[in-house]
Structure 1
Amino acid sequence: MKKLYYIPPLVLQTLIWIPTRLILIFFVGLKVNGMENLKGLKKGVIFASNHANALDPILLPASLPFLSKFMPMFYTSRENTFYKRLWMRIFFSSGLFFKAWGSYAVGIGIHNYEESLRSHIKILNDKHSLFIFPEGGITKDGNFKEAKGGVAFLSHKTNLPIVPVGINSTYKISWGKFFLRKRKITLNIGKPMYSKDIFDNKKEITVDDYKSGANKIMKKIKELYIKS
């Protein structure tokens, strides 16, 4: 990662914040609850949310105040081998736009959290914010999937808080429903969770602990989610 890797996402996300916010408020009546739960938090936060639509990644940055201390927002993404078509590989995972947006791929099949999440650990240690979807992908049936252990590992490794977020009404939202204003999207921000609470103050953490910790985080996300 380059030394000034955070500059492109900061510039891009700042430039599009106003039009994105206005578009979301007008077309989907974006409503944000729980902003008070972010008070007192310092830079370097892990935001964790359910994932039902490709629209989800832009909702959190657009929900935060303009020039928020939690910006720029960084993301986890799939490796480019996940995408079957060449243009999708170039654009989504290895493309300049995705890196400029702040998205870094998670190593798949490595079976080592520290190795597969190396870029994200650095991002958090540099006190930047990370938006992660613990389920590891978009739900195909509208139901929650089992959480991956990586989100709990990141909290333990960096000792940074996790803020659970529940996003509703994005499942199967089409362009037609979006522009015809057929959906109302609500984003609920929960109270921060800390590593000591996620792992019940355990000193020796195992892979199973990371998975159970991730499920505990996912449970909080479910509580914040309002099924449309």
Structure 2
Amino acid sequence: MNLYSFAKGLVKTILTPAYRIRTVGKEHIPEEGGVLICANHINVLDPPVVGITSPRPVSFMAKEELFKAPVLKSLLPNLNAFPVKRGMSDREALRKGLAQLKDGHVVGLFPEGTRSKDGQIGKGLAGAGFFALRSDAAVVPCAIIGPYKLSKRLKVVYGKPINMTELKERKASAVEVTEIIMNEIKQLSDNHR
């Protein structure tokens, strides 16, 4: 058993009962091929929550600073995380993310780029649209519906993949595609509260 599988099992055992996690729509994540999961970001626990509710292993971009911490720098790569420089266009992280998708892996992304202060779904950054347009990955919206409070129910809802055909044909911008992704996440959130 690799570290990812072990960590997923351990984290699932702790978080699922603590937050009474309920997952809806797992069947919308294709069993094979590249998948881009785009979720809203409300808590530091969002990446492990998406990781334990997805039926497939998920790779996440994590802020570069985390890879400089003594324990994390050797742990994070084994948990499928790769570094991204925040606040600038990080070509290396973009290349790494695209390569993961092209190799048929699942990449998890929080288009807002940072956690929401008030729990509301904010504006997404163009990176999500970039990955959606530049890869053949299925784009799966995901709504994490809080609050993260012990014994309160936390819901993770995966929506149907967004049809990218028309958007690619008319050469939609990364910004427009990100807006569409964020709207899908918001609709999932509104419909499942």
With the shorter chain as reference, the TM-score category is 0.7 to 0.9
- Contact (CA 8 Å) 1:92, 1:98: kept in 2 or not? no
Cα shift at 1:96 = 1.6
Give the aligned length: 192
The whole-number CA distance in structure 1 between the counterparts of 2:88 and 2:16 is: 41
The whole-number CA distance in structure 1 between the counterparts of 2:153 and 2:67 is: 32
Question: What residue is the counterpart of 1:4 in the other structure?
Answer: none
- Contact (CA 8 Å) 1:91, 1:97: kept in 2 or not? no
Question: What residue is the counterpart of 1:29 in the other structure?
Answer: 20
1:222 and 2:191 are equivalent in the alignment: no
Cα shift at 1:213 = 0.7
Question: What residue is the counterpart of 1:210 in the other structure?
Answer: 174
TM-score (norm 2): 0.86
Question: What residue is the counterpart of 1:105 in the other structure?
Answer: 83
1:167 and 2:131 are equivalent in the alignment: no
Give structure 2 stretches of 5+ with no counterpart: none
Q: Deviations over 1:140-171 (max 9, x none)?
A: 1222221111111112111211100000114x
The whole-number CA distance in structure 2 between the counterparts of 1:115 and 1:16 is: 27
Give structure 1 stretches of 5+ with no counterpart: 1-9, 81-87
Q: Identity rate of aligned residues, in percent?
A: 23
RMSD: 2.6
Cα distance change, pair 94–14 in 1 and its aligned pair in 2 (3 A): closer
Among residues 173, 186, 192, which one is paired with 2:161 in the alignment?
192
1:43 and 2:33 are equivalent in the alignment: yes
Cα shift at 1:12 = 1.8
Bigger share in strand: 2
- Contact (CA 8 Å) 1:110, 1:116: kept in 2 or not? no
Cα distance change, pair 18–106 in 1 and its aligned pair in 2 (3 A): closer
Structure number, greater radius of gyration? 1
The whole-number CA distance in structure 2 between the counterparts of 1:107 and 1:50 is: 20
TM-score (norm 1): 0.74
Cα distance change, pair 17–41 in 1 and its aligned pair in 2 (3 A): closer
Cα distance change, pair 92–64 in 1 and its aligned pair in 2 (3 A): farther
Cα shift at 1:114 = 5.0
Read off the aligned partner of 2:38 and give its amino acid letter. Answer: A
